[in-house]
Amino acid sequence: MRVVLQRVSEASVMIDGKVKSSIEKGFLILVGIEAEDTQEDIEWLCRKIINMRIFGNEDDKMNLSLKDIDGEALIISQFTLHASTKKGNRPSFINAAKPDLAIPLYEAFIKEFEKQFEKEVGTGEFGADMKVNLLNDGPVTIIIDSKNRD
């Protein structure tokens, strides 16, 4: 499972011209799921993200977590995070999990994140054509892959 974590001042997602979810200061989390991903990947990633200290403290040092700042989170599914660009100019998405596996894992990710975060999060809609708007703060963007834990 791979995520792109963006520290934002605000973010929102629109589907069919209507805002589905919006947040203020916190994280926009783009989630890419592979067929091999498990509940263990989900739990590890959620814990890692929630405790990631990339918000500024009183000395403007990145030392505070999402919980420390009472921030918000917006979680969006994005299969293109597993694009392979080795051959040619058209990406292959063969490593991305098919919807029958990815949808339950995406929903489990949201539930686990809310459980660990102890707060409801905003979401997109799996498979929908979404328009994501964000104001990246910093900018701070971090890529985390659950297969690279060691």
Give residues with Cβ within 8 angstroms of 28, minimum separation 6: 5, 6, 8, 11, 73, 74, 76, 132, 134
Confirm whether 80 is a catalytic residue.
Answer: yes
Write down the catalytic residue from 80, 85, 123, 141.
80
Q: How many CB atoms lie within 10 A of CB 57?
A: 12
**Positions marked active-site:** 80
